[in-house]
Amino acid sequence: MQLILLLSKPRTLQLFPLLLCLLLLPCLSQPLPSPSPSPSPSPSASPAPPPSLPLSPFNERLEAAYVAFQAWKHAITEDPKNLTEDWCGPFVCNYTGVYCAAAPDDPHVLTVAGVDLNHGDIAGCLPDHLGLLADVALLHLNSNRFRGTLPPSMQHMRLLFELDVSNNLLAGAFPAFLTSLPGLKFLDLRFNAFDGELPAAVFGRRLGLDAIFANDNRFNVSLSSASLTNSTASVIVLANTRLAGCLPPSIGDMADTLVELILLNTSISSCIPPEIGKLKKLRVLDLSHNELAGELPASVGDMESLEVLNVGHNMLAGEVPEAICELPRLRNLTIAGNYFCDEPVSCLHVPLRDDRMNCIPDWPHQRSPEECIAFAHRPPPHCAADGCIVIPPP
């Protein structure tokens, strides 16, 4: 039996080449496709660019960023959402909240361009190593529990464009280095515990901020014509801070850029200058809960872009100018808590209107006649050229 098997193997091997030829014969009978001719380049066509290669995740800038993030992680005491849990290892571009891009000064180098930890509820402080993130353009840290102040090393963030540290527990004086950052356009410090003077340079044309949110801190702010009204910002929010001075006539100098001005509850004791009517791009004006006196200027009716006007809870009196209620875009008008004695019927057409607690005859929800009579017997305020109220001699 073994002899038969041994003799049969050579016969099978002899037949194998023949079987292989029979299988390949149909394929060999088909002609091979000829290659398509290469398109001849046109004389004006530029050569195709070489395929771009991914940027290397290893360079000196990312090494410095690694040091910064590790120092920051060690300065964090609570991270309830575990946003920094993956802040391990040298690949910082894979960290949660970290965004990388090509460096502006060298497109062949990868660098950290932004950090976003908004609404993280993270507790801790901001270490001085943060300044190693020299290429960061966006730094969003709102709605956390960071304490202390902004580290001075952040002055090395020369590309910083947006800084949002609102709704934290930061304190101390205004970080002076912020006024030296050449690219900074959006600054949000609201809902912290910063105190002291808010430098005039914040509103300066040299810094050129486009949006300033400094409300709900303990800042002292001067309203002199050399500070606030020198700003080129489109949005200025200083609500619930302490403002010194009066609304100056130079407020009209911000006409080219100002879109939103919110100065509610800032202890302003002032008249409203007629020059405010020059702010034709202004959409939102909130001067409520102050000590404004005199009349509401008719020039407010020239503010053709105005959508929201709130002068409630002041000491304003006289008639509400009809031109204000006829503004084409006005959707929200609040004059409550003043001493106005007349309101045009056209104001009834404003979609959202609050005129309670005034002295408008036969109007619902007004002050008592006794209160209105007592106010009418007060000496009328005199508005000086600088916008301040001059108290007449007894």
Same domain, 148 and 177: yes
- Domain-embedded: residue 6: no
| 300 contacts 322 by C-beta, under 8 angstroms | no
Q: What is the DSSP letter of 225?
A: T
The answer as to whether 286 is a domain residue is yes
Question: What DSSP line would sit under 316-335, residue for residue?
Answer: EEEEPPHHHHT-TT--EEE-
Domain boundary among 187, 219, 240: 187
User: Is 169 in the same domain as 84?
Assistant: yes
- Residues 250, 115, single domain; the answer is no
Please indicate, yes or no, whether residues 310 and 236 belong to a single structural domain of this protein: yes
Q: What is the DSSP string of 204-241?
A: -TTT--SEEE--SSEEEEE--TTTGGG---SEEE-TTS
Specify the amino acid at residue 224. Answer: S
Do the domain assignments include residue 21? no
Q: Do residue 181 and residue 222 come from a single domain?
A: no
SS (H, E, C) 349-371: HCCEEECCCCCCCCCCCCCCHHH
140-168 in b/e burial notation, b at 16+ Cβ within 10 A? bbbbbbbbebbbebbbbbebbbbbbbbbb
Specify whether the CB–CB gap between 165 and 141 falls below 8 A. Answer: yes
- CA dist., res. 62 & res. 66, Å (int): 6
- Residue 123 inside a domain? The answer is yes
- CATH number of the domain bearing residue 62: 3.80.10.10
The pLDDT of residue 205 is 83
The pLDDT value given to residue 45: 46
List the domain range (segments joined by +) for residue 95. 55-187
261: its two tokens? 């001005």
**How far apart, in whole angstroms, are the C-alpha atoms of residue 295 and residue 318?**
6
Token pair of 227 as six digits: 């500070």
User: Which residues are within 8 A (CB) of 62 and not within 5 positions of it... i.e. 6 or more apart?
Assistant: 90, 92, 93, 100, 110, 111, 112
What residues form DSSP beta bridges with 112?
100
**For position 18, what pLDDT does the model report?**
36
**Angle value at C-alpha 178, between 177 and 184, nearest 5 degrees:** 140
Same domain for 79 and 96, yes or no, is yes
Q: Do 94 and 183 reside in the same domain of the chain?
A: yes
Quote the number of domains for the chain. Answer: 2
Q: Which of 157, 187, 217 is the last residue of a domain?
A: 187
First to last CA, the chain: 140
Contact between residue 251 and residue 227 where contact means Cβ atoms under 8 Å apart: no
In a domain? residue 66? yes
Per-residue pLDDT of the chain (394 residues; tens, 9 = 90+): 333 333 333 333 343 333 333 333 333 333 333 333 434 444 444 554 544 547 777 899 999 999 999 999 999 999 999 999 999 999 999 999 999 999 999 999 999 999 999 999 999 999 999 999 999 999 999 999 999 999 999 999 999 999 999 999 999 999 999 999 999 999 999 999 999 999 989 998 888 999 999 999 999 888 865 677 888 999 999 999 998 888 989 999 999 999 999 999 999 999 999 999 999 999 999 999 999 999 999 999 999 999 999 999 999 999 999 999 999 999 999 999 999 999 999 999 999 999 999 999 999 999 999 999 999 999 888 888 888 888 766 6
Q: Which residues neighbour 68 within 8 Å (Cβ) at sequence distance 6 or greater?
A: 127, 129, 130, 131, 132, 133
Same domain, 165 and 221: no
The pLDDT score that the predictor gives to residue 47 is 52
Residue 40 lies in a domain: no
166 shares its domain with 127: yes
What is the chain's Cα-based Rg? 35
**Is 310 in the same domain as 178?**
no
Distance (Å, whole) CA 370 – CA 173: 47
In this predicted structure, what is the pLDDT of residue 226? 61
Amino acid identity for residue 342 in this structure: D
Q: How far apart are CA 181 and CA 155, in angstroms?
A: 7
Question: Is residue 31 one of the residues assigned to a domain?
Answer: no
* Same domain membership, residue 173 and residue 321: no
Residue with tokens 């509400």, as numbered in its chain: 320
Domain final residue, candidates 187, 216, 249 = 187
Q: Would residue 333 count as lying in a domain?
A: yes
- Residues in a beta bridge with 340: 318
Same domain for 86 and 145? yes
pLDDT score at 266: 94
Where do the H-state alpha helices sit in the chain? 2-28, 60-74, 322-325, 369-376
